[in-house]
Amino acid sequence: MGLVTEEVRAKAEKYSGDEICREKTKTFLKEISMPNGLLPLKDIEEVGYDRESGVVWLKQKQSITHKFAEIDKLVSYGTEVTAVVETGKIKKLTGVKAKELLIWVTINEIYTEDPPTKGKITFKTPTTLSRTFPVSAFTVPEEEPAKEEPAKEKSSEATEVKEADAIKEAVAIKEA
């Protein structure tokens, strides 16, 4: 991890554990105006982000290959992914490769056009070759909190009220 020095690690926000790391990854992507599905990593062990220098790192248990169905592209994510980020740009990217024809090509820069949410996203290689795709290909619908829970609470409260009324009636009948 050439970008992630001890100094950077000391200043960075660090998170451990898959669930919190996935959440923080989506939050940081949104913060830099990148699509939330750009890093579909699994079994993430650690995420770190030094806002001052823009250095980000992600560690996962094993490398994965993900297919972005909308554009029919395979992308490989190594066990360690590092980058320097700023709004609309990911630079000095390591640990990410895309399959072009029969070979895996290293991706070292990603940037979006204005406005990023409706435009295009471009991926560059160290040889300056690039490919542009719609941002929508890397956007995952946000999960909304389940709205059934409050309804269940209300129905159980209603059941409790009915049961209490039934008990009051039974007590009133016994007393009469």
Task: Provide the pLDDT for residue 1.
Answer: 47
Residue 1 resides in a domain: no
152: pLDDT confidence band, cut at 50, 70 and 90?
very low
> Does residue 154 have a pLDDT over 50?
no
How many structural domains are present in the chain? 2
Across all residues in the chain, what is the average pLDDT? 83
Residue 171: other Cβ atoms inside 10 A: 10
Q: Are residues 104 and 149 in the same domain?
A: no
Whether residues 119 and 167 share a domain: the answer is no
- Is the pLDDT confidence value at 121 over 90? yes
The CATH number of whichever domain residue 87 belongs to comes to 2.30.240
Position 153 scores a pLDDT of: 45
pLDDT at 7 exceeding the cut of 80: yes
Examine the domain organization and report whether 67 and 133 are in the same domain: yes
Percentage of the chain beyond pLDDT 90 is 60
| The predicted structure's pLDDT at residue 128 | 87
Could you tell me if residue 54 is left (phi over 0), alpha (psi between -120 and 50 degrees) or otherwise beta? Answer: left
| pLDDT tens per residue, range 126-150 | 998 999 999 989 988 876 554 544 4
Task: Mention every residue, 6+ apart, whose C-beta is less than 8 A from residue 80.
Answer: 1, 57, 58, 59, 94, 95
Report the predicted TM-score, pTM, of the whole model to 2 decimal places.
0.75
Residue 111 has pLDDT above 90, yes or no: yes
Let me know whether 19 and 78 are in one domain: yes
If you search the block for the tokens 């630079």, which residue do you land on? 91
Query: What is the domain extent for residue 128?
Result: 6-138
Q: What is the structure's pLDDT at 4?
A: 83
93 in the same domain as 171: no
Q: Does residue 149 form part of some domain?
A: yes
